[in-house]
Amino acid sequence: MRIRNRSEQKRFRTNWSTTICAALLAFMFIIPAIWLFVGSIRPNNEILATMSTFGWDLIIPSRLTFENYYHLFADLGFGAALWTSFFTSGVTVLVGLFLALLAAYALGVLNFPGRSIVFSFVVISFMMPFEAIAIPLSQVFTKWGLANTYLGLILPGIANGLAIFNLRQYFMGIPKSFRESAKLDGASEPMILFKIYLRLSTPGLINSALLIFVGSWTAYLWPLLIVSENHLQVAPVALARAFGEHASSYGQNFAGSVILSLVPAVAIFALQRHFGRFEWGSEEK
């Protein structure tokens, strides 16, 4: 009994030590996020003044104010840019997810000559940095008359190789007997895709949708290259105007960064229960 109690006490002390170390490490990583949020609700002239020494005034403002958020929307026109980001990201997710669904089904379920070669190109597409092709691609889009258009903003994001890869791996985990049974019943491939695979792929679809959404929501280089008109600028590019040639507003920049970070964070938090979840297991039973 004593040996057992000693082992339990030792395990208890180890767990507490690990928990304390993890909490301290998490606190160190969360300090910049807290400083960012506090900087968005404190006077602009206090942001840099409180960085000279590490103290409580770094994360506790002298007074709370929402003037940074007000000037962000009133002076920079951040609301219109935010709407553009929502619209382009929403359309990109809808169209990109549909294309990823078709491509993943073909590459993960169907057998056709050259499937492995096509899949290799898909993998290469998301391993290659977009910055490497952004400038020549923007020149092609300008020649096609797609500059300063919503279509020009949306098109590069709909073919997301990582989303295709994610859905393909998910489809390959679904038992092949489901498709074989449906084929015996006379179901066509589109029917199998939308009636069986689509219904069993909610977690995979959500994961892929988040990948496409985050990629479109945080895009900066491509909108900067393809759009020159202010009414079509997305939120990250519009936020950069907080830093002018002769003046800069860290408070407005912090406020915009909080908003831009909050949207994907809320989406991921709301949908996190679907991550890595395979629903077909319960169906198979």
pLDDT band per the 50, 70, 90 thresholds, residue 11:
low
Query: Is residue 248 predicted with pLDDT exceeding 90?
Result: no
Partners of 248 in the beta sheet?
Answer: 243
Partners of 243 in the beta sheet?
Answer: 248
pLDDT reported for residue 285: 37
Of 44 and 67, more confident: 67
Query: Is residue 60 predicted with pLDDT exceeding 80?
Result: no
Percent of residues, the chain, with pLDDT higher than 70:
85
* 61 alpha carbon, distance to own chain's centre: 31
If you average pLDDT over each of 8-17, 30-39, 176-185, which comes out highest?
176-185
pLDDT reported for residue 282: 41
Q: Which residues contact 5 (CB under 8 A, 6 or more apart)?
A: none
Report the chain's mean pLDDT, rounded to a whole number. Answer: 83
pLDDT reported for residue 52: 61
**Would you call 248 helix, strand, or coil by DSSP?**
strand
**Among candidate residues 227, 257, 233, 220, the one with its CA nearest the CA of residue 72:** 257
pLDDT band per the 50, 70, 90 thresholds, residue 281:
very low
CA distance 90 to 214: 11
**Among candidate residues 154, 162, 245, the one with its CA nearest the CA of residue 207:** 162
Least confident of 23-32, 42-51, 103-112, 201-210: 42-51
Q: Which residues contact 202 (CB under 8 A, 6 or more apart)?
A: 274, 279
Query: Is residue 280 predicted with pLDDT exceeding 70?
Result: no
**Among candidate residues 162, 133, 142, 107, the one with its CA nearest the CA of residue 226:** 142
pLDDT single digits (tens) 110-121:
888 888 899 999
CA distance 143 to 141: 5
Query: Is residue 102 predicted with pLDDT exceeding 90?
Result: yes
Superfamily of domain 70-284: MetI-like (1.10.3720.10)
pLDDT reported for residue 99: 93
- Numbered ranges of CATH 1.10.3720.10 in the chain: 70-284
Query: Is residue 97 predicted with pLDDT exceeding 50?
Result: yes
What is the phi/psi pair of residue 147, to 5°? Answer: -70, 145
Of 167 and 10, more confident: 167
pLDDT single digits (tens) 211-229:
899 999 999 999 999 998 8
Query: Is residue 274 predicted with pLDDT exceeding 80?
Result: no
Least confident of 17-26, 65-74, 234-243, 269-278: 269-278
